[in-house]
Amino acid sequence: MVGIRDIAAHLNVSVASVSRALNNHPYVNEELRRRVVESAKLLGYQPKQSGRSLRQGVSKTVGFMIETHPKLTSNIDLFLMSIFDGVQTVMRRHALSLVVLPCSGDEDPVEYLRGVVERRFVDALILSATRPNDKRVALLTKEGMPFITLGRTGFRDKQPWIDLDFESFAEQSVDRLYRSGNRRIAIMVPAGPLNFGQITLVGYQRALEKRGIAFDPALVAHVVLDEASAASACNTLLMNADPPTGIILINEALASGVYTCLRQSNLEPGRDVEIVSLEDGRLRSLPSPLTRFRFATHDIGIALGESLLSLVPAFAHYYAGTEFQRLWQFEVVEPTDLNT
């Protein structure tokens, strides 16, 4: 039986080149691709089925499950659009399609996903909005569908994931505030079942402990990710007998609510109360008294797409060596002095 080695010998090129050409690798010279295809025909080459499963599959489609419940998503959406763009960049290299699967607020995410799997109209999946011990992981593992989660679902996850390094964000935030003299450090995290709030709190507690500061539950605010909720939580923090001098925000959308609250109490953000936040993914924000932790959302999308395809037999060889579990680091953006 004729193999790709025979084609390589016939054309006097490497086996890897032939493999790339036959698999429609995006970086193959068109002239070489044409010669390989012609030789394959000439020599009677028959591709093995296993290596072509997804490409020959019904769907050629990869799904990205999101949740559209406004209380869960709010400003997270800004973040997702840029990630879709990155994932799509990877899929186009292989003539695959990305479809986004929106689970609405009144649906159970596990049941929704079961429907997606049963219909078999995607070949691989990315899951977002992960919960602790997310049941969707067990479902996809059982079904044998390649998938990756954007976000962890526990500290001992076995499935592939990419996540922002929320512990590090919390720890570095506490460290910065501590170094500039703060000992009463508050944090605002999302209310609800999402996993990243829990992870952030773990990092926060660990960093406090390391610095010898007692954990005070009164300094932890669980908020909806909008301005009004942040302003209200900030008011409660200020009513504390020993109010915070530093505040960590899980999302920049909270900042303007906190600013408004502080200024109503004649406190200037950045001067009287120091603030650290994750950046919310806007294109370009204004100078700000915030220290911001920035993440490269488009690159996260590319990494998600590449990691996912490394799990799919037909594409694994393009992405050999891709990490399966990956914590994404932040870049720190220093606060801007607004008076200069």
Nearer to its own copies, 63 or 246 (CB): 63
Rule CB under 8 A: choose which of 4, 22, 54, 80 binds its own copies.
Answer: 80
Cβ contact 111:47 at 8 Å: no
Which range binds its own copies by CB under 8 A, 85-93, 159-167, 174-182, 196-204? Answer: 85-93
- Segment contacting its own copies (CB under 8 A): 25-33, 94-102, 159-167, 169-177? 94-102
Binding mask 111-150 for its own copies (x = CB under 8 A): ----xx--x-x-----------------------------
In the complex, least distance from residue 268 CB atom to its own copies, rounded to whole angstroms: 13
Q: Is 85 in the site for its own copies (CB under 8 A)?
A: yes
**Is 260 one of the binding residues for its own copies (CB under 8 A)?**
yes
- Beta carbon nearer to its own copies, 18 or 98: 98
Judged by CB under 8 A, the stretch of 160-168, 211-219, 225-233, 323-331 that binds its own copies is 225-233
Q: Per-residue x/- marks for its own copies, 267-286, CB under 8 A?
A: ---------------xxxxx
Strand partners, 187: 220, 248
Point out which span in 176-184, 233-241, 254-262, 309-317 binds its own copies (CB under 8 A): 254-262
Name which of 38 and 268 has its Cβ closer to its own copies: 268
Instruction: Choose the stretch contacting its own copies; rule: CB under 8 A; options: 21-29, 37-45, 250-258, 319-327.
Output: 250-258
Among 7, 21, 78, 194, binds its own copies (CB under 8 A): 78
Interface with its own copies (CB under 8 A), residue from 88, 172, 173, 251: 88
Picking from 185, 192, 248, 195, the residue whose alpha carbon sits closest to that of residue 215 is 185
110 binds its own copies (CB under 8 A): no
Q: How far is the CB of 234 from its own copies (least distance, A)?
A: 11
Do 193 and 183 touch, CB atoms closer than 8 A? no
> Which residues 6+ apart lie within 8 Å of 204 measured at CB?
170, 171, 173, 174, 187, 220, 248
CA distances from 144 to 115, 125, 312 (A): 15, 11, 11
Q: Figure out which of the listed residues 27, 41, 50, 106 binds its own copies, where binding follows CB under 8 A.
A: 106
Q: How far is the CB of 212 from its own copies (least distance, A)?
A: 37
Residues of this chain that interact with its own copies (CB under 8 A) are 59-61, 63, 68-71, 73-75, 77-78, 80-82, 84-85, 88-89, 92, 97-107, 115-116, 119, 121, 224, 226-229, 231, 253, 256-257, 260, 282-286
